[in-house]
Structure 1
Amino acid sequence: MPDPEPTARPRYGRDEPYEVFEIDDLTLDCGRTLRPARIAYRTYGELNAAKDNAIVYPTWYSGRHWDNEWLIGEGMALDPDRWFVIVPNMLGNGLSTSPSNAPVPHDGPSFPPIRVRDNVEAQYRLVTERFGISTLPLVLGWSMGAGQTYQWAVSHPEMVQRILPFCGSPRTAPHNQVFLDSLRAALQAAVGFDGGRYTVPPAQGLRAFARIYAGWGFSQAFYRDEEWRRLGNTSLEDFVVDFWEGFFLDGRDPNNLLTMLDTWWHGDVGATPGAGSTEEALASIRATAIVMPAEKDLYFPPEDEAWAVSHMRAGTELRVIPGVWGHFAGGGKNPVDTAFIDAAVAELLARPSGI
């Protein structure tokens, strides 16, 4: 008798199909309405009959759903054989409704401002209306995904049982905003940007954008120790061109980048209606949490997240990712960091729910 067919495993990568959830009218925090708002997403695993095994794992600045797949897989904490992992793409990232795909007259620089809360409310509509889910065992995310994670726990405390924000914050710090302003200036000053009405994305501006980013994404120690060689690069210039310029020239639209940048700049759970302040918003979180900054993150240093944890419920853990990879400790590029994060996810999922 022949062996049974093996269980189908999810195929990963940017070329695999994804789904789109359409919201007829999504009124944004700024007062404008997207008609419609389309949320691109991909799922991994199967939703069980009780609908209590769903995990939300939002994307990050300029990331797409496949960029989150390094933390999903057989034998990992986010194992699709056990969990139903939903990866929603942020508004503005080029797959969900964005300046690059919005209809006239809302396209390009006329696209409305998006806030973190807008993304979370769209994701809430996806989770509840498309899937009928009322409980989330975990929400987690890297960088801007971490900001969305905090917002989920503030906006829907009755629903989110656990959170694991890594290399991100509930409120964008002033130093971080200065960095974002430099990125904005590089794009807007580029030859051919034309106030955002370009016909061809200005490659010169994207290269300058990437060069600024290169000084922030990894730590000083990462460069001093030439850790970029572990990514296959042969010189510092090779790394900056291959990794950084290549990243932002790979189909990233400047108006999309500016929209997401503005979302990041204004990130603050304290702006949630009824929250009162950032401190009060953090205190309202009921979810069991492990907060994971990276030791040498230049955007979201551990002391900032220690401050956040000090305002959260008793028992919230601050667990610092050690090492020199800075912000990209959470980017899935270093196997040691990946194992550290994966272990924390497994441990958190084994802890009692906060609600």
Structure 2
Amino acid sequence: MADHELFELGDFALQHGDVLPGARLAYRTYGQLSGDKSNAIVFPTWFAGTHEANEWLIGEGKALDTERYFVIVPNLFGNGLSSSPSNTAPPHDRARFPHTTMYDNVRAQHRLVTERFGIGRLAMAVGTSMGAGQAYQWAVSHPDMVERLAPIAGSSHTSPHNQVFLEGIRAALTADASFNGGDYAEPPRTGLRAFARVYAGWGLSQAFYWQREYEQLGFATLEDFLIGFWESNFADWDANDLLAMIWTWQHADVGQTPGFGGDTRAALASITAKALLMPSKKDLYFPPEDEEWSAGYIPDADLRVIPGVWGHLAAGGGDPQAAAFIGAALRQLLDHTPHE
């Protein structure tokens, strides 16, 4: 049995003018919606992750306590569960899948939240990495709905340096001759392995490798770690799905929300939620400096830097120190009563 549900969006008009026929949003919920529908949290997924990757923060006694909150985890377009190149019928399959933005994702999620559940206000929008970008988009697109905002190891817009990183992993994947412009008969495995090895140098910090933290994860050598952790993580992903998510990531910018004309500062200034921004200390592509910039334009924002050497992956729950820090910060934010 599937461990998620599907919300049918019909023929879904996208921000850049295309239409995604028969669009579907995959999601999973945790906990029970209260009678007054005031306890809902939306927690979108990150790059190359499904709702399962978010579950380390969800459950009885965890930061997103299912005894108190109703947590909705919508899956990103392109992640293989929601509409994606790998599960969309021709002529919109594979490399012909239309480009989707953060704004498109949140517009679909808003329909889920309001039409399926009748929710008019969210206790919090939270997310990590690309999920953080969607949380930001929620707070800009629907300031009347979002009481609290918690972007973790992410950003309100994709910086030029971040785009360079993304171009590197895109190039590694598509350079495989068997990729064939996206019309591959078999997975481009050489490209997927190259993609994973390039990603390995960005997802974790220099200090992580210097201190041989991978040995604490059970890998005897660096090569074992590259194969057993990084290559295995991406081996089963569809290449076109990865590229679709990369496009969404590269073009993320809350300033592109209709009404702001590309002005990211104005979009951030429109956020009314109580915001807690949590960059990771040694994140190589969402560095704390970027979030300091965003915090400067949000009217009610605090910034707390996640400690440790895990870099971007500090937001994934694997590092106990970072996990405890994130959990404590989210509990404190949820205990905060926003301004009326």
TM-score interval for Structure 1 and Structure 2 normalised by the shorter chain: over 0.9
d(CA) in 2 for partners of 1:164, 1:93: 22
d(CA) in 2 for partners of 1:354, 1:230: 44
Task: Select which of 293, 314, 319 maps to 1:329.
Answer: 314
- Conserved? CA contact 2:102–2:133, under 8 Å: yes
- Conserved? CA contact 1:30–1:112, under 8 Å: no
Task: Select which of 114, 117, 121 maps to 2:107.
Answer: 121
Q: 1:156 to 1:354 in 2, by over 3 A?
A: farther
- Conserved? CA contact 1:55–1:138, under 8 Å: yes
Which residue is 1:110 aligned to? 96
Which residue is 1:343 aligned to? 328
Which residue is 1:238 aligned to? 224
Q: Is the deviation greater in 23-32 or in 255-264?
A: 23-32
Deviations 1:142-177 (A, max 9, x none): 000000010000000000000100100001010110
Task: Select which of 275, 278, 294 maps to 1:308.
Answer: 294
Which residue is 2:134 aligned to? 148
1:259 aligns with 2:282: no
Deviations 1:111-156 (A, max 9, x none): 0011110100010010000000000000100000000010000000
- Conserved? CA contact 2:308–2:321, under 8 Å: no
Aligned length: 339
Deviations 1:216-262 (A, max 9, x none): 0000000001111121111111111100000000x210000000000
For 2:287, give the aligned amino acid. P
Task: Select which of 189, 192, 195 maps to 1:206.
Answer: 192
1:173 aligns with 2:159: yes
Which residue is 1:22 aligned to? 8
Which residue is 1:215 aligned to? 201
**Stretches (4+) displaced over 6 A:** none
Task: Select which of 177, 183, 187 maps to 1:191.
Answer: 177
d(CA) in 1 for partners of 2:159, 2:165: 10
Q: 1:158 to 1:146 in 2, by over 3 A?
A: same
SS in 2 for 1:337: helix
- Conserved? CA contact 1:54–1:83, under 8 Å: yes
For 2:143, give the aligned amino acid. P
Which residue is 1:54 aligned to? 40
d(CA) in 2 for partners of 1:344, 1:26: 36
Which residue is 2:82 aligned to? 96
Gaps of 5+ in 1: 1-14
Percent of pairs with identical residues: 58
For 1:117, give the aligned amino acid. Y
Deviations 1:161-198 (A, max 9, x none): 00100100001010110010111111111021011000
- Conserved? CA contact 1:286–1:354, under 8 Å: no
Task: Select which of 11, 17, 23 maps to 1:31.
Answer: 17
- Conserved? CA contact 2:129–2:153, under 8 Å: yes
- Conserved? CA contact 1:166–1:292, under 8 Å: yes
d(CA) in 2 for partners of 1:112, 1:285: 29
Gaps of 5+ in 2: none
Cα offset, 1:333, TM superposition:
0.6
Q: TM-score, normalised to structure 2's length?
A: 0.98
Cα offset, 1:48, TM superposition:
1.2
Which residue is 1:8 aligned to? none
Cα offset, 1:16, TM superposition:
5.9
- Conserved? CA contact 2:6–2:27, under 8 Å: yes
- RMSD after superposition: 1.0
- Conserved? CA contact 2:307–2:321, under 8 Å: no
Cα offset, 1:25, TM superposition:
2.2
For 1:253, give the aligned amino acid. D
SS in 1 for 2:177: coil
SS in 2 for 1:24: strand
For 1:68, give the aligned amino acid. N
